[in-house]
Structure formats: structure tokens, C-alpha cells
């Protein structure tokens, strides 16, 4: 009887153990069900779900350490978990490589290149970046984010080189103008060379202008030409021009020829019963960059110094406009200019050649 009772007790314990195991297995199934389902249905790993993939594989590894037999019994689960793991590891490696490469690009200067020193630094860094990019895996290259900044840096290098070349061309034009100035400072061909360089300098961007090393010398040359021309003009011995003429202007003052003087004298005698005291011609124009002559529409203030005090006399300034004009055909006109007399000086304004 005691033996029978002992056997019954053992059977009860076994039944209880089976019941507990069954409950535990059910608990495990319920506990791991969501994880198993997510692994089974997880899409391909990409940069939008890699963090979740890594979390899920971490959770799987912990569960496998405790319930490996159960998880391994589920068809295809281990293979799917390893596929997710492999994809996540490869993608994480690609992302890390791309991030490191992006950091190299981030270290590039974002400022425009304005000197040869900056150019050398930029080219050295870009060479390092090109090497680093070549070392990336093809899959990692797809995750590089700073491509725009990289392209901008390369564009800045190319732009500086383009600007430098343009500046060099202008420097050559200025050198040619300087050489012409050394041969004949006030010659029209010298002025044309200066004008050509000046127009080329004005036509480019400020970035290019900043790279022209001899632009200050061009301004100095212009000033020298203007000073020489004004000095020559002041020494003409016929009239004085009050205004300073610019470097690209030409003012020619000569005594009138005999025929012109006679014509003026006849007009004065017929109109005003006056006699001719002085006759001269004034011609003014500007020089273009191609060496051609351009009309110069400006008003000049002239001062004629007489040999005697004429303050008590009636003074007439007669202008005849068809004497010459290099830039356009001018109809023959005569008109009297307003004059201001002070002692021996007669001041008047001329806005036309004559």
C-alpha cells in the first residue's frame, strides 16, 4: 500500500511538472510572439529602418540565449534574423563611411577663393577628398550627403582659375598701355590702349577686378596723361581753358587761317560794325578704345587775354561752326556767344567746335 501511495505521489508530481512546462511554453510563445512576427515580416533594411532593425536583432539575441531551442524550431526565423543582421551591419558600415566622408567635406572652406594661397589649400583638400571618395564602397557612396558642398568647393576652384585668367588678360592690356605711354604719353594710340584696358576692367566682376595686380598703375597712367594734356593746353598761348580735360579727351587750339579770319572779319563788320581783334579755332573730341574719334558734347569755359584793357569797349565773340568736325557733318552756322569782360580778359563758354 505504501509503495502504491508513493507511486501515485510521483505521478502527481510529474503531472504537475508537465502542467508547469506547458504553461511556461505558452508564456514563452505569447511573450515572443510580437518579436517573431516582426522579424518574419521585416522589410529590407534601409536608412529609414536601420535603427529598428538593430534593436530587433538585439532583442532576438537576448531571447535566443534564453529560448534558443524554441526560436530555432520556428521555420525560417533564424535565416530571416541573420538576413536582417547582415543587412544592418553592411548598411551601418556604409553609413559610417559616408558620415566620415561628409565630415571631410564639412572641413572645406565655404568662403570664395580670392588668392593663390587659398587655391593651393583648396586643391590639396579636394585631392584628399577625391582619394577618400575612391576608397568608399559603391554602396557607401549612395549615402554621401554633402555632395552639394563638395561641388560648390570644386566650382569655387574653377571660378577662381577663370577669374585669374581673365585678370591676367587685363594685366596684359595695362602693360601694353604702359609701354605705349613710355613711347608717347599723349598720343591718341596711347589713349586708345588705356581706354581699351579701362573698358575691359570695367566689364568684369569685382572679384576679377580684385585680382588685377596692376589696376592702380592704370589709374596712375590716366592721371599722367590728363596732367600732360592739361599742361600742353595751358601753354597754347591763345586762350586759357578753365576746366581740366580728362585723359581721353583732345582739345586743339590754333590760330585761325587767313581765309577763316577774313570770313569772321567780314561778318563782324556787316553785323556789328566791329573789327576783328583775334581769331582762333577750337576742336574737341574723345578717343575710343578702338582708336576712333567720338563726338564730345561738353561746354568749355575759355578766357581770352587781350593786349590792352578793353573794359570800356563793346566786345563780341563770334563763332562759326562749320570750320571742321571730324565726327559728324555740321551745317554752317554763326552765332554770338555771351562774354564777360574784366580788364584785359574776356571769358565765354563754347559747347561746339568752331
Residue 218 has a CB neighbour count (10 Å cut-off) of: 21
Q: Give the model's confidence band at 58: pLDDT under 50 very low, under 70 low, under 90 confident, else very high.
A: very high
- Residue entry with cell 552639394: 148
Instruction: Report the alpha-carbon distance of residue 333 to residue 329 in Å, rounded.
Output: 12
Residue 16 has pLDDT above 70, yes or no: no
Residue 21 has pLDDT above 50, yes or no: no
- Residue entry with cell 598761348: 237
Asked whether the beta carbons of 219 and 278 are under 8 A apart, the reply is: no
Terminal Cα-to-Cα distance of the chain (whole angstroms):
156
Structure confidence by residue, pLDDT tens digits, 36-47: 999 999 999 999
Q: Which of 169, 178, 160 is closest to 200 using CA atoms?
A: 169
- Residue entry with cell 573794359: 311
Structure-block grid coordinates of residue 120: 593651393
The mean of the pLDDT values for the chain is: 88
Instruction: Report the alpha-carbon distance of residue 292 to residue 248 in Å, rounded.
Output: 11
Residue 23 has pLDDT above 90, yes or no: no
Structure confidence by residue, pLDDT tens digits, 217-232: 999 999 999 999 999 9
Residue 327 has pLDDT above 60, yes or no: no
Structure-block grid coordinates of residue 15: 503531472
Asked whether the beta carbons of 274 and 316 are under 8 A apart, the reply is: yes
What is residue 26's predicted lDDT score, i.e. its pLDDT?
Answer: 65
Structure confidence by residue, pLDDT tens digits, 265-278: 888 888 888 888 88
What is residue 141's predicted lDDT score, i.e. its pLDDT?
Answer: 94
Most confident of 9-23, 93-107, 337-351: 93-107
Structure confidence by residue, pLDDT tens digits, 192-201: 999 999 999 9
Structure-block grid coordinates of residue 183: 613711347
Structure-block grid coordinates of residue 334: 554763326
Instruction: Report the alpha-carbon distance of residue 177 to residue 198 in Å, rounded.
Output: 10
CA-based max dimension of the chain: 174
Q: Rounded to 10 degrees, what is the CA torsion of 180, 186, 189, 193?
A: 60
Structure confidence by residue, pLDDT tens digits, 111-167: 899 999 999 999 999 999 999 999 999 999 999 999 999 999 999 999 999 999 999
Q: Give the model's confidence band at 1: pLDDT under 50 very low, under 70 low, under 90 confident, else very high.
A: very low
Instruction: Report the alpha-carbon distance of residue 198 to residue 54 in Å, rounded.
Output: 67
Instruction: Report the alpha-carbon distance of residue 162 to residue 29 in Å, rounded.
Output: 71
Amino acid at each position: 500500500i505504501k509503495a502504491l501511495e508513493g507511486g501515485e505521489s510521483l505521478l502527481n508530481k510529474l503531472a504537475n511538472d508537465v502542467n508547469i512546462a506547458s504553461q511556461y511554453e505558452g508564456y514563452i510563445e505569447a511573450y515572443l510572439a510580437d518579436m517573431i512576427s516582426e522579424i518574419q515580416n521585416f522589410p529590407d533594411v534601409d536608412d529609414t529602418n536601420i535603427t529598428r532593425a538593430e534593436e530587433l536583432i538585439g532583442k532576438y539575441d537576448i531571447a535566443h540565449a534564453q529560448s534558443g531551442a524554441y526560436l530555432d524550431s520556428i521555420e525560417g526565423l533564424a535565416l530571416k534574423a541573420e538576413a536582417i543582421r547582415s543587412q544592418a551591419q553592411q548598411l551601418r558600415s556604409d553609413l559610417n563611411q559616408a558620415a566620415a566622408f561628409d565630415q571631410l567635406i564639412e572641413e572645406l572652406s565655404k568662403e570664395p577663393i580670392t588668392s593663390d594661397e587659398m587655391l593651393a589649400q583648396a586643391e590639396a583638400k579636394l585631392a584628399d577628398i577625391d582619394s577618400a571618395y575612391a576608397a568608399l564602397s559603391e554602396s557607401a557612396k549612395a549615402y554621401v550627403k554633402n555632395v552639394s558642398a563638395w561641388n560648390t568647393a570644386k566650382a569655387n576652384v574653377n571660378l577662381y582659375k577663370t577669374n585669374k585668367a581673365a585678370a591676367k588678360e587685363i594685366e596684359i592690356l595695362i602693360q601694353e598701355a604702359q609701354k605705349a605711354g613710355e613711347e608717347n604719353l599723349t598720343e591718341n594710340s596711347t589713349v586708345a590702349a588705356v581706354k581699351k584696358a579701362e573698358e575691359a576692367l570695367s566689364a568684369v566682376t569685382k572679384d576679377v577686378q580684385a585680382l588685377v595686380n596692376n589696376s592702380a598703375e592704370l589709374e596712375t597712367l590716366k592721371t599722367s596723361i590728363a596732367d600732360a594734356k592739361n599742361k600742353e593746353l595751358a601753354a597754347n598761348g591763345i586762350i586759357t581753358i578753365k576746366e581740366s580735360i580728362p585723359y581721353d579727351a583732345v582739345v586743339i587750339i590754333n590760330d585761325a587761317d587767313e581765309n577763316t579770319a577774313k570770313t569772321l572779319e567780314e561778318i563782324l563788320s556787316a553785323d556789328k560794325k566791329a573789327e576783328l581783334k583775334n581769331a582762333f579755332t577750337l576742336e574737341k573730341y574723345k578717343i575710343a578704345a578702338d582708336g576712333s574719334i567720338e563726338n564730345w558734347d561738353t561746354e568749355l569755359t575759355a578766357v581770352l587775354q587781350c593786349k590792352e584793357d578793353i573794359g570800356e569797349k563793346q566786345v563780341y565773340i563770334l563763332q562759326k561752326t562749320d570750320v571742321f568736325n571730324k565726327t559728324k557733318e555740321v551745317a554752317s552756322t554763326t552765332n554770338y556767344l555771351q562774354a564777360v569782360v574784366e580788364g584785359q580778359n574776356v571769358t565765354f563758354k563754347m559747347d561746339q567746335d568752331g
